[in-house]
Amino acid sequence: MSEFIPVLELQALAPESSQMVEVKGCEVLLCHSGGDVFAVANRCTHQQQLLDGGRIRRGHISCPLHGVRFNLRTGEPMGQLTRVPLATYDVQVVEGMISVSVD
Ligand code: FES
């Protein structure tokens, strides 16, 4: 069974922004877009750039280095630079607290 670990209050994550958190030794990037909260691996699958700080729009994050866009829900990349999806993690928001499972 998945274990959800509380990581951040929702009010601390502005719309269309991200915040890196560490969960069981994994660097997880929380992203708030279009009213939903997503959790993805914080490393681009092209050249391992940190995604933290990448632009977030309409359910996607753009890598700060070469601009590959990843779908935050599925992890799927767009364009030719990489075909490897980002790892995505399950998220729950309960009473204003974001919890993530990395199991
Ligand atoms: S390292 Fe992310 S697009 Fe190249």
Atom 4 of ligand 1, residue of closest alpha carbon: 66
Confidence (pTM): 0.95
Q: Where are the beta strands (DSSP E) in 1-103?
A: 5-9, 17-23, 26-33, 36-41, 56-57, 60-62, 69-71, 77-78, 88-94, 97-101
How many domains, in total, are found in the chain? 1
Helices (H) and strands (E) in the chain, counts: 0, 10
Tokens of 83: 């075909």
Tokens of 99: 């919890």
Report CA(39)–ligand 1 centroid distance (Å): 18
CATH of the domain at 64: 2.102.10.10
Report CA(14)–ligand 1 centroid distance (Å): 24
The yes-or-no verdict on residue 2 having pLDDT over 90 is no
From residue 18, give the alpha-carbon distance in Å to each of 2, 40, 86, 91: 23, 10, 15, 14
56-88 pLDDT, tens per residue? 999 999 999 999 999 999 999 999 999 999 999
